[in-house]
């Protein structure tokens, strides 16, 4: 085998384009030193030790949570900031009413002012990364420049980071997404997350948290990539990817888009209930999917990430043993509480009690939850007991079904199937969900979140829906499209559906639909399972509850349709006419 051409080169020598850009950024930001990340374990260990010495990272109980650390972010910096996130295309119309917009020149000027001298006395880290398997034709690279060691450690877990990524950039002709990040003063008044999809560039200032700061994730793999995907004929989506092996040994892959904190990580590593023996679950990804039409007319998916940045609260052995086991070693915890003996603690953790809250204060229930509701774990995907080797396959996995859903107390049934791809695009475009703690702002308010991409589509939603319709026409064997809702509640606020592992029953129905082996009832909203179509062996669910979960009151649906029509119209003239035809068809069926 030929040896890699750059093995002996020092990191700054590998790509002239990267080195030139680093020099420009250093001239602007004036760091005390520059560190090029090679992505080695020794580098991560040294960085962890340095952050511990500075008090930025705190080791957790080494007996029960070996090699785990606690990081506390600034209390004003605990989630994505959608109102401070901009898509800066040349024309405002291209960003669309779904995005905040600023003209590129004005945005660059504003950010230049903030970045000027911002790294004085600090280290500038150069973080080369690859989104997707290093040998995948679908993978794309970027370089994040950051002054946060915590960001470096997270990028090391979440992406293929270091020398190999830099080598791929060099062999790709020096093309990469430029992401410049500084935590700045953490002043919410001086915090902006800017995207320049036409320039493949990102500028983020004033936050050190999650999607605002780990630029490979939402900024690159969704906002920039969705824009690129449209021009190149693929899709970059906020979706988990999971493989389901049935008791007969057949494996099918599905991808599912739910808004933030609505169950993607949990579904991606679902544990089959004991009453459904013989099923096996294989996780490919838990948050982002890049989807390409394959030569066989099917849709193929890769997970561009290599780790999970997951919601901690609610995780326990009963709801998700895989997740619980996965985060019991070699994990970074952000904004969780602590027990008296140095274990991480969060709401929903069954054992122990909190002693110190997420802000480092003695725990007092009067101050609210002990762990922040958007507290997160970061772990390598390889720690997931259900991680699939297919996640490393350069061509990805073929997708049999696409699933959309949201968190809705009322109305949306447990599951239904779209009648066609075009109907499915309307279903996806109409997704509504209650807001969660994953973004700052009010929690629990129902808003439209098409394809779970409201905060992440890097261009006009009208163009995005048109692109989805066009993709369907290119797929001879397009996946079937479904909608789910695990979160219907009764009048007392109790979830009607047990969720978690039991969601496999719903996935089973979908796969049987794909195979043509199970029936459905043709309702106005779409195809719904009849009670006999769902396997409820051992579930003990009341038939009246199941009936409620699989019906939609016509009056409520009628109101919902009117609401969707207004929403689509408000998005402007680029909304495809086909979506209105699909709405007309549902109204016709409803006899409205
Ligand atoms: P992001 O990382 O923000 O994109 O979130 P996510 O979509 O991966 O959500 P996640 O799986 O982390 O779940 C968020 C919250 O919903 C957690 O508190 C879970 O315990 C809870 N949850 C997940 N699945 C279910 C379910 O089937 N039923 C119920 N009732 N709650 C669930
Ligand atoms: C989300 O909010 O959808 C997340 C967490 O996955 S963050 O990386 O902060 O965007
Ligand atoms: Mn997400």
Q: Transcribe 263-288 into DSSP letters.
A: SHHHHHT----TTSTT-EEEEEESS-
Residue having the nearest C-alpha atom to atom 4 of ligand 2:
260
Q: Which tokens go with 587? A: 């109204």
Q: Could you give the percent of the chain with pLDDT greater than 70?
A: 99
Q: Which atom of ligand 1 is found nearest the CA of 308?
A: 2
Give yes or no for residue 318 having a pLDDT over 60: yes
Mutate to test the pocket of ligand 1, among 263, 408, 498 (most ligand atoms within 8 A of CB): 263
Integer distance in angstroms from the first to the last C-alpha of the chain? 68
Position in ligand 1 atom list of the atom nearest CA 263: 11
pLDDT at 2 over 90: no
For residue 436 and ligand 1, the question of a CB distance below 6 A is answered with no
**Residue 500 Cα, ligand 1 centroid: separation in angstroms?**
9
Distance (Å) from CA 479 to ligand 3 centroid:
22
Query: What pLDDT does residue 498 have?
Result: 96
Mean pLDDT across 303-310: 98
| Nearest by Cα to 296 from 476, 136, 469, 474 | 476
Alpha carbon of residue 472 to chain centroid: 23
Report which protein residue has its CA nearest ligand 1's atom 11: 263
User: Which ligand lies nearest the alpha carbon of 73?
Assistant: 2
Task: Give the number of whichever ligand sits closest to the CA of residue 263.
Answer: 1
Q: Which ligand is nearest to the CA of 223?
A: 2
Calculate how far, in angstroms, residue 72's C-alpha sits from the geometric centre of ligand 3.
20
Per-residue pLDDT at 8: 76
Report the chain's mean pLDDT, rounded to a whole number. 96
- Cα 238 to ligand 3 centroid, rounded to whole Å: 6
pLDDT > 80? residue 6: no
Would you place residue 592 in the very low, low, confident or very high pLDDT band (cuts 50, 70, 90)? low
Q: Is the shortest distance between the CB of 263 and ligand 1 below 6 Å?
A: yes
For 417-474, the pLDDT digits (tens) are 999 999 999 999 999 999 999 999 999 999 999 999 999 999 999 999 999 999 999 9
Ligand 2 pocket test target in 131, 217, 311, 456 with most atoms within 8 Å of CB: 217
Cβ distance 252 to 360 under 8 Å?
Answer: no
Task: Report the C-alpha gap between 434 and 178 in whole angstroms.
Answer: 33
Per-residue pLDDT tens digits for 478-526: 999 999 999 999 999 999 999 999 999 999 999 999 999 999 999 999 9
Residue 321 has pLDDT above 50, yes or no: yes
- Taking CB atoms and a 6 Å cutoff, what residues make up the pocket around ligand 2? 80, 210-211, 217-218, 260, 287, 309, 438
Stated pTM of the model = 0.97
pLDDT at 1 over 50: no
- 262 a catalytic residue: yes
DSSP state of 147: S
Residue 3: pLDDT above 80? no
Q: What is the pLDDT of residue 197?
A: 98
Banded pLDDT at 174 (limits 50, 70, 90): confident
User: What's the confidence (pLDDT) of residue 319?
Assistant: 87
Q: Distance, CA 425 to ligand 3 centroid (Å)? A: 20
- Whose CA is closest to 515, among 285, 178, 248? 248
* Per-residue pLDDT reduced to its tens digit, 68-96: 999 999 999 999 999 999 999 999 999 99
Q: With 90 as the cut, is the pLDDT of residue 5 above it?
A: no
State in Å: Cα 378 to ligand 2 middle: 12
Which atom number of ligand 1 is nearest to the Cα of residue 503?
A: 27
Atom 19 (ligand 1): residue with closest C-alpha? Answer: 314
- Ligand 1 atom closest to the CA of 438, numbered from 1: 3
Asked if the model's pLDDT at residue 347 lies above 90, the reply is yes
- What is the CA(239)–ligand 1 centre distance, in A? 13
Looking at all shown ligands, the one closest to residue 405's CA atom is: 1
- Spatial neighbors of 401 by CB under 8 A, at least 6 apart, are 252, 254, 255, 479, 480, 481, 482, 510, 511, 514
Q: How many residues does the chain have?
A: 592
Nearest CA owner, ligand 1 atom 26: 499
Is the Cβ–Cβ distance between 354 and 363 less than 8 Å?
yes
CB 311 near ligand 1, within 6 Å: yes
Q: What are phi and psi of 62, to 5 degrees?
A: -70, -20
Query: For the segment 229-240, what is each residue's pLDDT rounded down to a tens digit?
Result: 999 999 999 999
287 lines ligand 1 (CB under 6 A): yes
Please state the rounded mean pLDDT for residues 163-168.
98
- Decide: 231 in ligand 1 pocket, CB within 6 A: no
Q: Which atom of ligand 2 is nearest the CA belonging to 438?
A: 2
**CB of 406 shorter than 6 A to ligand 1:** no
Section 31-53 average pLDDT:
98
For the CA of 80, the closest atom of ligand 2 is: 9
Any ligand 1 atom below 6 A from CB of 129: no
Question: Which position among 88, 130, 262, 514 bears the catalytic label?
Answer: 262
For residue 376, the ligand 2 atom closest to its alpha carbon is: 5
Q: Is the CB of 314 under 6 A from ligand 1?
A: yes
CA of 261 from ligand 1 middle (Å) equals: 5
Q: Please tell me the number of the ligand nearest to residue 267's CA.
A: 1
In contact, 571 and 462? CB cutoff 8 Å? yes
Helix, coil or strand: residue 358: coil
Instruction: Kindly state the average pLDDT of the residues 200-219.
Output: 98
Residue 578 has pLDDT above 70, yes or no: yes
DSSP string spanning 426-469?
HHHHT-EEE--TTBSS-SS-EEE-GGG-TTT-SS-HHHHHHHHH
Ligand 2 mutation pick, 260, 305, 453, max ligand atoms within 8 A of CB: 260
């Amino acid at each position: 085998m030929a040896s890699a051409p750059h093995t002996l080169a020092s990191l700054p020598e590998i790509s002239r384009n990267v080195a030139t850009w680093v020099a420009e950024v250093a001239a602007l930001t004036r760091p005390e030193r520059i560190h090029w990340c090679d992505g080695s374990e020794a580098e991560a260990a040294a960085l962890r030790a340095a952050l511990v010495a500075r008090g930025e990272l705190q080791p957790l109980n080494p007996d029960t949570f070996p090699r785990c650390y606690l990081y506390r972010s600034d209390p004003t910096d605990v989630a994505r900031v959608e109102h401070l996130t901009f898509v800066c295309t040349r024309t405002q119309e291209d960003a669309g009413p779904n995005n905040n917009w600023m003209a590129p020149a004005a945005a660059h000027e504003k950010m230049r002012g903030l970045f000027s001298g911002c790294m004085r006395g600090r280290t500038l880290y150069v973080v080369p990364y690859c989104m997707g398997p290093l040998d995948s034709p679908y993978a794309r690279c970027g370089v994040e420049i950051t002054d946060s060691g915590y960001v470096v450690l997270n990028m090391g877990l979440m992406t293929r980071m270091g020398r190999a990524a830099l080598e791929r950039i060099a062999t790709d002709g020096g093309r990469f997404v430029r992401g410049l990040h500084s935590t700045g003063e953490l002043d919410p008044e001086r915090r902006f997350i800017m995207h320049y999809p036409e320039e493949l560039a990102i500028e983020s200032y004033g936050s050190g948290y999650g999607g605002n700061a780990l630029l490979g994730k939402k900024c690159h793999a969704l906002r920039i990539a969705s824009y690129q995907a449209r021009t190149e004929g693929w899709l970059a989506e906020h979706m988990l990817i999971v493989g389901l092996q049935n008791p007969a040994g057949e494996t099918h892959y599905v991808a599912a888009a739910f808004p933030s904190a609505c169950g993607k990580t949990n579904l991606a590593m679902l544990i089959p209930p004991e009453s459904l023996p013989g099923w096996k679950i294989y996780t490919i990804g838990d948050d982002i999917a890049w989807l390409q039409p394959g030569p066989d007319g099917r849709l193929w998916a890769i997970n561009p990430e290599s780790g999970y940045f997951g919601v901690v609260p609610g995780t326990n052995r009963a709801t998700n043993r895989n997740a619980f086991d996965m985060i019991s070693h070699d994990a970074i915890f952000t904004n969780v509480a602590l027990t008296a003996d140095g274990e991480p603690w969060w709401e929903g953790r069954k054992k122990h009690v909190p002693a110190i809250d997420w802000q480092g204060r003695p725990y007092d229930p009067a101050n609210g939850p002990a762990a922040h509701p958007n507290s997160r774990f970061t772990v390598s995907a390889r720690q997931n007991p259900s991680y699939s080797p297919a996640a490393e396959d350069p061509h990805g996995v073929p997708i049999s079904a696409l699933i959309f859903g949201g968190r809705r107390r009322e109305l949306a049934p447990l599951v239904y199937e779209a009648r066609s791809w075009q109907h499915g695009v309307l279903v996806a475009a109409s997704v509504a969900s209650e807001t969660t703690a994953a973004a700052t702002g009010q929690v629990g308010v129902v808003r439209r979140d098409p394809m779970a991409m409201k905060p992440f589509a890097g261009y006009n939603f009208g163009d995005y829906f048109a692109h989805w319709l066009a993709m369907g026409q290119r797929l001879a064997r397009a996946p079937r499209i479904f909608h789910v809702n695990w979160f219907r509640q009764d009048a007392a606020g109790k979830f009607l559906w047990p969720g978690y592992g039991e969601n496999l029953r719903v996935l089973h129905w979908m796969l049987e639909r794909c195979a043509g082996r199970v029936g459905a009832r043709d309702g106005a909203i779409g195809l719904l399972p009849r009670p006999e179509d769902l396997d409820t062996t051992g579930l003990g669910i009341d038939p009246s509850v199941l009936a409620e979960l699989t019906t939609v009151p016509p009056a409520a649906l009628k109101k919902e349709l009117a609401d969707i029509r207004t929403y689509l119209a408000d998005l402007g003239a680029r909304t495809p006419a086909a979506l209105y035809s699909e709405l007309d068809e549902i109204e016709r069926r409803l006899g409205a």
